Amino acid sequence: MKKFTLFLLAAAVSFAAFLPAQAQSLSSLKNKVQGAVRNEARKTVQKAKENAKETAKEKALEAKYASSSKAGKTYYVSVSTGSARADGLSPETAMKDLQKAINTAEDNDIILVAEGNYLGNMDRGYIEVGQFGNGQNDKGKFLSFYGGFSTDFSERDVIKYVTKFQPTDQVFSAPLFNINARRPFDYRGPLGDVVVDGFVFDFGENNLYCAPNVNDEMTGTPNTGVLTGRFIEPGAMPACPKVGYANGDEYGLHMDVEGNVRIANCIFVNCRDYGIQALMGKGHIEVCNNVFIACRYSACQVKGNVKDADIEQVTFDFHHNTVLFTWTRTKALEDMGQGFRFMNGIRTVNCYNNIFGCNSNCGVERVYYESNKSMESLKQNSLYDNYFFANRRDLEIAAPGVASISVPAARIEEAEQIGPKFEGNMELPGGNDAFINAIDKSYLEGFMSLKVIQSQSYNANSAANQVNRMFGLNQQGSEIVRPSMYCNKYPWEKAKDLFGKVADYGAQMPE
């Protein structure tokens, strides 16, 4: 026991002798350790703040575009920076394929889409929420889509960061974008929301046109500044060089929907069969702040798709849109070609603060009547505070004993089919040079000098007529229809210039 005590005492003396010699180095080491700990703590706190900031930013972004119904998840899609196998639940893990995001999403989810061209799964050329033409069986989903984001989703500007559906050499028989959003027949709960905001719908790189040639009337090239010759209708095959790929009757945006629907801040250009064609169930649809230009058939057509007893529950607002150069179904300029159409199956339609210009049939059409006279008498088709210019007709209405009646803007109040609001329609006032100058000059000049040459010929000695006489069949002649211009391609980039050129009328600058 004594020896052990002496050993401890000796160790203590030895350590005491060691301590003074090392005190300074130990103090320095202590300070370094404490400094490193403090630095790590600061980094941890800073990282936590940054993560919290990013999370808050993402939540704020998601909240901004959340629908009025119970919002679900938010998905991020970027064709240029996203990944094919990502979950899409944050900007850092954005999906590459918009169709995959749609397939993954559920009712009330939001999909934010960065700039780029979206061609569908494996670049098939089209996007779909539910099967086109099968809305009764394929109910689709209630989803909200917002385009116009930068690739890191830090900024949204639909003019600067263009998000587009622009097929090139794909050949398909479907709308560029089809959306079904229906509830089951016996569903009695709240309806969902559908939003399409900030996209460009362009068939111009896909349509089949005559190659431009101002020296060949067959091509329908009005001047050297227009990008192509005339559009080639389905089934036609003129003997001239061609550019493009397809000429079927595909829509820009097709919808079979119900609930709360909003289509805003979009461009519909060079659409070969409607810019928007929609079947609307119970609920409200709003089409606002869009540019429709060089579309065929009609820029926008929305029909009610409900039982007669439910028509009163369908409403539609079409406002602050710019609608230019809507083309007829055929090169003979015979039918269709309406900018906006009042259709059946909707109790209340309001069309206001739009600009309708250079439409080859009419700016607005009101020729459809409900089969039930009492229901027809309850319809409210208001057309007010719109500007019109250079349309073949401003308003077309049906009337007994004649095919239709053309109504100029200044006399719309006399059309009894329009109401209860009908005030404020007029020709585009002078002083709107900025708007006129924003329209592609060559295209506008071509339209303003548009003419159609029609001629018939009969050759009794043609091979066909000789054979017909042998069999007692009718003789055949030929008819040539040559428009100086018909649905030629409009430069889609210039369509962006039409936003915000006339205060309070037409498409305003997107917010």
State how beta strands 253-264 and 267-269 pair. Answer: unpaired
In this prediction, residue 22 carries a pLDDT of: 41
User: Which tokens in the block code for residue 13?
Assistant: 């003396």
- Distance from first CA to last CA of the chain, Å, rounded? 90
Please give the residue that has the higher pLDDT: either 464 or 143.
143
CA-to-CA distance for 267 and 273, rounded, in angstroms? 15
Across 303-330, average pLDDT: 96
In this prediction, residue 43 carries a pLDDT of: 60
Residue 203, in any domain of the structure = yes
| 280 shares its domain with 388 | yes
| 91 shares its domain with 219 | yes
| 213 shares its domain with 83 | yes
Residue 6, in any domain of the structure = no
| 457 shares its domain with 431 | no
359, 395 contact by CB (below 8 A): no
Half-sphere exposure of 166 (CA within 13 A, CB side): 18
76, 90 contact by CB (below 8 A): yes
| 147 shares its domain with 295 | yes
52, 44 contact by CB (below 8 A): no
Please report which confidence band the pLDDT of residue 26 belongs to, taking 50, 70 and 90 as the band edges: very low
Residue 332, in any domain of the structure = yes
CA-to-CA distance for 129 and 104, rounded, in angstroms? 11
CA-to-CA distance for 451 and 459, rounded, in angstroms? 26
| 436 shares its domain with 478 | no
| 466 shares its domain with 337 | no
Please report which confidence band the pLDDT of residue 9 belongs to, taking 50, 70 and 90 as the band edges: very low
| 226 shares its domain with 296 | yes
Residue 234, in any domain of the structure = yes
Residue 262, in any domain of the structure = yes
| 322 shares its domain with 457 | no
Residue 166, in any domain of the structure = yes
Across 384-397, average pLDDT: 98
Residue 76 CA, chain-centre distance (Å), reads: 18
| 253 shares its domain with 397 | yes
263 pLDDT more than 80: yes
Across 290-315, average pLDDT: 96
| 223 shares its domain with 338 | yes
Strand partners, 209: 231, 243
- Amino acid identity for residue 389 in this structure: F
Number of structural domains the chain divides into: 2
Across 397-410, average pLDDT: 90
Kindly report the number of other CB atoms within 10 A of residue 176's CB atom. Answer: 29
In this prediction, residue 135 carries a pLDDT of: 81
238 pLDDT more than 90: yes
Range of the domain at 466: 451-483
pLDDT in tens, 69-84: 567 999 999 999 999 9
In this prediction, residue 136 carries a pLDDT of: 81
| 96 shares its domain with 220 | yes
31 pLDDT more than 60: no
Kindly report the number of other CB atoms within 10 A of residue 105's CB atom. Answer: 22
Please report which confidence band the pLDDT of residue 271 belongs to, taking 50, 70 and 90 as the band edges: very high
Strand partners, 117: 164
404, 364 contact by CB (below 8 A): no
Kindly report the number of other CB atoms within 10 A of residue 123's CB atom. Answer: 13
